[in-house]
Amino acid sequence: MAPLLAVLLVFVVAPLAFVVAVSFFHYDNFAIIPAFSFENYADVLTAHLTYELYVTMIWFSLLTWFFTLIIGFTVAYFLVFHVRNPLIAIGLFLVCTVPFWTSNVIRMISWLPLLGKQGLINSALLATGVTRQPLQFLLFSDFSVVVSYVHLFTIFMIVPIFNSMSRIDRTLFEAAADAGSSRWQTLLHVVVPLCKSGIALGSIFVVTLVMGDFYVVKVMSGGSRASIVSAMYDDISTLLFPHAAANAVILMIIVVIMVSLILRVVDVRKELASQR
């Protein structure tokens, strides 16, 4: 326990404490002045921008959560219940991770030649005469941002759901069928409740990743959207550290609230313990 505690202290508690401390500091164009002032928080909380950014990012989180959940659940379901041979299931599961052998940046940028004005999709649409003008919304839009998030983050849904599905006792299916349950009813009343912990864990991954994102929004929206973190980056780029720190603390509080709401719906600890 002691080594873990030491690691947590050094790498989590100390930096956080530092950020919190700086968020109360004063600053001018040249220096950061130690102080205890709520000015930075007042600045952040009274700015119209803050609300716009949070609305945008929460909206992106919800969309991404929804699509990754649908896709992640379906893929996990297929792997666990439709692939009979466990060896093949594991093999296919590993195949799901293949795209993740390259970096996030590469995977994201690979969308550009597909979605661009002169990209594959638009060229195909124009060539087949479906549209006369290239579809601009495909790239540098909210659409392309969400597509990219779903592409990048679905694996974080698949893994925990796959994990909790594999623990489901197969005899439950027979019992459900004997009790006259249809496939859909079994899915809804047996599988989904037993996957709750996996879904909750996956949701936590996806939501926190999107809320803290900086780069996907920047590249895929073509700079036409700002994210909470990109606004912080702009602060830091001209040494407005206390303002950025206050922003970071607020973001952390909001994300903690979001995570605790998820955990409130699903008691992950209890679920995991009861399945053991």
Partner 1 sequence: MAQRRKNGARIGGVDANTAISRRNLLRAAAAVGAAAGSQVIGAPTIWAQEIKDIELRHVGVSYSVVKAIGDQASKDLGFKVTMQNLDTSAAITRFITQPQTVDIPDLEGWQTKVAVARGILQGIEVKRIKEFDNILPIFTKGEYEGKKVSRQGISPYEAMYIEKKDSTKIVEGVHDWMTFLPQVYNADSIGYRPDIVGHPVTRWKDLIDPTYKGRSAILDVPNIGIMDAALALESRGDLVYKNKGNMTRQEIDTTINALIALKKQGQFRATWTTFEQSVELMASGEVVIQSMWSPAVTAVLAKGIPCIYAPVNEQPNGKEGYRGWCNGMGLMRHLSGKKLEAAYEYLNWYYAGWQGGFVARHGYYSPVPKTAEKFMTANEYGYWYLGKPAADVIKDPYGAPIAKAGAVRDGGSFIERFTNIACWNTVMDQNQYMIQRWNEFKSA
Chain contacts with partner 1 (rule: CB under 8 A)? 29-31, 43, 47-49, 52-53, 56, 112-113, 116-118, 136, 139-140, 218-219, 222-226, 230-231, 233-240, 243
- Report in angstroms how near the CB of residue 120 gets to partner 1 at its nearest: 12
- Report in angstroms how near the CB of residue 275 gets to partner 1 at its nearest: 43
Cβ proximity to partner 1: between 93 and 140 the closer is 140
CB-based contacts of 107, cutoff 8 Å, min separation 6:
99, 100, 151, 152
Tokens of 39: 């000015």
Cβ proximity to partner 1: between 151 and 225 the closer is 225
Site of tokens 């002691």: 2
- Report in angstroms how near the CB of residue 140 gets to partner 1 at its nearest: 5
- Report in angstroms how near the CB of residue 44 gets to partner 1 at its nearest: 9
Distance of CA 85 to the CA centre of its chain: 31
Buried b (16+ CB within 10 A) or exposed e, 81-90: beeeeeeebe
Cβ proximity to partner 1: between 76 and 226 the closer is 226
CA torsion, points 263, 161, 276, 272, in degrees to nearest 10? Answer: -10
Contact in structure between 146 and 63 (CB atoms under 8 Å): yes
